[in-house]
């Protein structure tokens, strides 16, 4: 589909490392932003516009500027664990 689920975390831009944890269940997707000590900085549960259970998904990471300022995204490590809810 073409509908995007977007949510502003409200976390200020920083050079500190962050972790993104995505947990999927049958009717919702929980997205959590964590700091390096795994303390929760922000979270959001998506419950609408979710793909069907038979749809294959891939990880895509990006930054969309909200003002006329250049941004740099450094992705140091990504690890996915596929589990069935």
Q: pLDDT digit string (tens) for 3-33?
A: 777 777 888 878 788 888 888 887 888 989 9
Look at residue 43 in the predicted model and tell me its pLDDT.
Answer: 93
Q: pLDDT digit string (tens) for 33-71?
A: 999 899 999 999 988 888 777 887 777 766 666 777 777
For 61: left if phi > 0, alpha if psi spans -120 to 50, otherwise beta; the answer is beta
Token duo for residue 54 = 């038979």
Complete DSSP assignment for 5-67:
------PPP-SS--EEEEEE-SS-EEEEEE-TT--EEEEEEE-SSPPPTT-----------SS
């Amino acid at each position: 589909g073409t509908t995007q689920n977007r949510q502003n975390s409200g976390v200020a831009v920083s050079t500190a490392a962050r972790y993104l944890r995505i947990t999927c269940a049958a009717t919702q997707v929980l997205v959590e932003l964590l700091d390096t000590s795994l303390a929760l900085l922000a979270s959001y549960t998506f419950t609408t516009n979710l793909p069907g259970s038979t749809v294959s998904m891939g990880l895509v990471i990006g930054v969309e500027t909200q003002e006329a300022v250049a941004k740099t995204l450094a992705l140091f490590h990504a690890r996915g664990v596929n589990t069935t809810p």
